[in-house]
Amino acid sequence: MTCLFCQIAKGEIPAQKIYEDGKTFAFLDIKPISKGHALVIPKAHSEHFDDMDAEDTHHVMDTVQRLAPKIMEAVGASAYNVGVNVRPDAGQVVMHTHIHIIPRTADDGLKSWPGQDADNLDEIKDKIAANL
């Protein structure tokens, strides 16, 4: 299987690496949403966030939590978004789990997701709770 992010984690394809440990790898996004936009990945392949094993999830989120404020400071940002696109309908293009760290500033012009008027919250909550 040829997976772009597996190859990046192994150093087989060049990337702007910012951090690496035994389980995780972080590098700059090649098409950044903002200056310092970075991706954190598990070295072990999983397609989706919810396929990642519990230990890798712990390590990846730990790396995200430690790197994000350092990235923010380094690029002069004042905030950041952490995001995961899970499956193609949510915008996932690369099928190797990755977490986006997107530095933000007050005047960067990026829009947050729009909210809508709530409809049937009770029913939706019950459906979700029944599926757990």
Pairing of strands 17-20, 24-28: antiparallel
Residue 92 near residue 48, CB atoms below 8 Å: yes
Among 57, 81, 92, 105, binds ligand AMP (CB under 6 A): 92
Say whether residue 69 binds ligand AMP (CB under 6 A).
Answer: no
Minimal distance, residue 81 CB to Zn ion, in Å: 23
Q: Is 59 a catalytic residue?
A: no
**Exposure string (b/e) for 71-87, b if CB count within 10 Å is 16 or more?**
bbeebebeebeeebbee
Q: Cα angle vertex 54, ends 49, 60, to 5°? A: 60
Residue 60 near residue 99, CB atoms below 8 Å: yes
Residue tagged active-site, from 37, 59, 96, 98:
98
Site string for ligand AMP, 1-40 (x = CB under 6 A): ---x----------x-------------xxx---------
Among 20, 85, 104, 105, binds ligand AMP (CB under 6 A): 85
Nearest to ligand AMP of 57, 92 (CB atom):
92
CB burial class (10 A; 0-12, 13-18, 19+) of residue 11?
Answer: exposed
Say whether residue 48 binds Zn ion (CB under 5 A).
Answer: no
**Catalytic residue annotation:** 98
Under the rule (CB under 6 A), what is the footprint of ligand AMP? Answer: 4, 15, 29-31, 85, 91-94
